[in-house]
Amino acid sequence: MFVRQLKDCPAFIAGDGSLLRELLHPEKETLRIRYSLAHAKVKPGQKTKPHRLRTSEVYYIMAGKALMHIGEESFEVLPQCAIYIPPRSTQCVENTGDCDLEFLCIVEPAWKKQYEEVFNRL
C-alpha cells in the first residue's frame, strides 16, 4: 500500500505561479499509474499565469471561490466542482474569494515540464 500525506510533500512555486505540492507521480514513485496528482493553492486576489498543457487536466476545487478561464470561456467555480481542461487549452484560474483557493490537479498522462507552455499575462 502507498499512502502520502500532503504535509510530507515539499511545496514549490509552479510555472503558473500557484503553490504546488505533488502527491503522486509515476516517475517519482514505483506506482503503476499514468496520471499525476498535485495539490495547488492560489492566494486571495491572485491569478495563475495563462498556460496550456499538451495533455488533458482536471481540477477539483476543495476550498475557495474562483473564476476559471479556459480558452475564451470564463465561469465561476466553487468547492466540489470538477473542471475538465482539454489538451492544448489555454487556462488560468483567478481566486475571487477571501480565503486560499485550494484544488487538486490531475494530469493524464502524467505532467512533464516539456508538456507545458506558460505565457505572460494576456
Length of the chain: 122
Query: Considering only CA atoms, which of 42, 33, 37, 86 is closest in space to residue 66?
Result: 42
Using one digit for the tens of pLDDT, what is the confidence trace for 6-51? 999 999 999 999 999 999 999 888 889 999 999 999 999 999 999 9
For residue 8, report the phi and psi dihedrals to the nearest 5 degrees.
Answer: -90, -5
- State how beta strands 66-70 and 91-95 pair: antiparallel
User: Looking at the domain that runs over 27-118, which CATH code has it been given?
Assistant: 2.60.120.10
Residue 19 pairs with which residues in a beta bridge?
A: 13, 41
For 15, residues 6+ apart whose C-beta sits below 8 A from its C-beta are: 49, 51, 113, 116, 118
Give the pLDDT confidence of 80-112 residue by residue, as tens digits.
999 999 999 999 999 999 999 999 999 999 999
